Amino acid sequence: MYEHEEALRRMGHEHVAGCDEVGRGPLAGPVVAAAVILDWDHPIDGLDDSKKLSAARRETLAEQIRTHALAWHVSFIDPDVIDQVNIYQASRQAMIDAIEHLAIRPSYILSDAMPLPGLGIPCQSIIKGDQKSASIAAASILAKVARDAYMIAIDTTYPAYGFAQHKGYPTKQHLAALKDHGPCPIHRQSYQPVKDAIHQQLTLQLEEE
């Protein structure tokens, strides 16, 4: 998992940032990205794609990352922006924002399958990078933990949808709640199931009138 970072360090890059995002697929909530510069002197064992780890393991690793990384930042892009610019551009925007808010400017960026031109920093986009690079894996863990925490917290505001369980992904439970209650303010209105729920609401209102 450290091969990419070690190769870059041999080339003179002391501060390599890994960057990843989570939350492209959900019907509700933000897309979240993180950027991390790991400390060579404090390697973290067990870093991997956040989707492969249990919630408890992610929490443990996230605490280690926040404690030992040289720099890290997590960025949120809200659903209204996703609706305005599309999820790809919102994901890219979140990753750029996370990188730009690092306390240390990286000399090289490793990103998970996302080209990031225009930053003035060399960047390598790696397919399935969260399974191949420790820095990208660390970023995926921080982003996943932060997004899950947000969705669990927002569940108390919109308890009808079960956000604490499915985190906004289109599960049967979520789709049923969306059909029964219509969308709430954190739903992504550009996503088809949400569009369908809005259409259903309008149709019912017209029928009642």
The number of domains in the chain is 2
d(CA 199, CA 196): 5
Count of other CB atoms within 10 angstroms of residue 95 = 28
Query: What DSSP state is assigned to residue 52?
Result: G
Residues 103 and 181 placed together within one structural domain of the fold? no
Same domain for 186 and 103? no
Q: Which domain holds residue 91?
A: 3-154
Domain match, 83 and 30 both: yes
Shared domain for 142 and 171, answered yes or no, is no
Sheet containing 108-112: which strands, arranged edge to edge?
71-77, 31-37, 16-22, 108-112, 123-126
209 residues of the chain, pLDDT tens digit each: 889 999 999 999 999 999 999 999 999 999 999 999 999 899 999 998 898 999 999 999 999 999 999 999 999 999 999 999 999 999 999 999 999 999 999 999 999 999 998 899 999 999 999 999 999 999 999 999 999 999 999 999 999 999 999 999 999 999 999 999 999 999 999 999 999 998 887 877 676 65
**Measured between alpha carbons, how far is 131 from 208 in angstroms, rounded to an integer?**
53
Which of 137, 154, 171 is a domain's end point? Answer: 154
Per-residue tokens: 182? 């219509």
Q: Compute and round to an integer the Cα radius of gyration of the chain.
A: 19
Tell whether 143 and 183 lie within a shared domain. Answer: no
Question: Which of 133, 154, 175 finishes a domain?
Answer: 154
Report the CATH number that the domain containing residue 87 is assigned in CATH. Answer: 3.30.420.10
